[in-house]
Amino acid sequence: MSPGGEALSRILYVEDDHDVRKVATFALKAVGGFVVEPCESGQQALEKAAGFAPQLLLLDVMMPGMDGPTTLERLRALPAIAGVPAIFMTAKVQPQEVSRYRALGTLDVISKPFDPMTLSATVRAIWAGRDD
């Protein structure tokens, strides 16, 4: 389907808000049929990442402790994760912010709040367009 060929299955998802994490994880699994590893903090993501071998990282930007961009930077320092594409999720989407995140090598930014019913389709569309 996508020009890159590889179908998306495994997503490492980092979000500190308990309820949002629950809903998004469920939606990605049930609606999108993805295999999802939810993490409640950047620290937990660092512990789980290599073992889970994700194809995509989905990161909340603003988290207490280690924020999204820092988490991404530390994840990318892991050899197994170095080339894994990432998507940020954030409640504050300002144009300059998006270009800053893009500069960090992310595929796209999904604005929060998101609709659980369409989240999977959004992720899939970004994934399909990643080689453009």
Partner 1 sequence: MTELMGAEAEMRDALRRLRADGVQRLGERVRELSAGWAALQPRRPWDDADRARLGELAASAHRLAGAGGTFGFPALSKAAAPLELLLLGLRDTPAPGGDRLRQAGAQVAAVAAAWEAGPAGAEEDGADPGQASPAEHGEPIFLFAEAEEQAMLSAVIANLGYSVRRASEREVLEGALPEGPLSAAVIDDAVPDPLAVCARLAGRCPLILLAEDSSFENRLAAARAGVEALVAKPLEVNELADWLDHFAGGRAETRYTIVIVDDDRLLAAAYAMALRQAGMQVTSVSDPAQAIEVIAATAPDLILMDLQMPGIDGIELARVIRQTRRHLSLPILFLSAEQDTERQILARRLGGDDFIPKPVDLDRLVTLVRLRAERARALRAVMESDSLTGLLNHARFKERLGLELERARRHGTTLSLVIFDLDHFKSVNDTHGHLVGDRVIRGLARSLQKRLRRTDVIGRYGGEEFAALMIGTGPEEARGIIDHLRERFAAASFETEGGSFGVTFSAGIAGNAPGGAGPEGGAEAEAMISAADAALYAAKRAGRNRVMVAPA
Chain positions contacting partner 1, by CB under 8 A? 17-20, 22-24, 26-27, 30-31, 60, 62, 64, 90-94, 110-118, 121-122, 124-125
Q: Residue 76 or 122: which CB sits closer to partner 1?
A: 122
Shortest approach of partner 1 to residue 53 CB, angstroms? 25
- Name residue, tokens 């280690």: 66
Shortest approach of partner 1 to residue 27 CB, angstroms? 7
Q: Residue 81 or 107: which CB sits closer to partner 1?
A: 107
Q: Rounded distance, CA 72 to CA 41, Å? A: 12
Shortest approach of partner 1 to residue 122 CB, angstroms? 8
Cis status, amide bond into 113, omega within 30 of 0: yes
Q: Residue 66 or 81: which CB sits closer to partner 1?
A: 66
Beta-strand ranges (E) seen in the chain are 10-14, 35-39, 56-60, 86-90, 108-111
Give the distance, in angstroms, between the CA of residue 67 and the centroid of all CA atoms in the same chain. Answer: 13
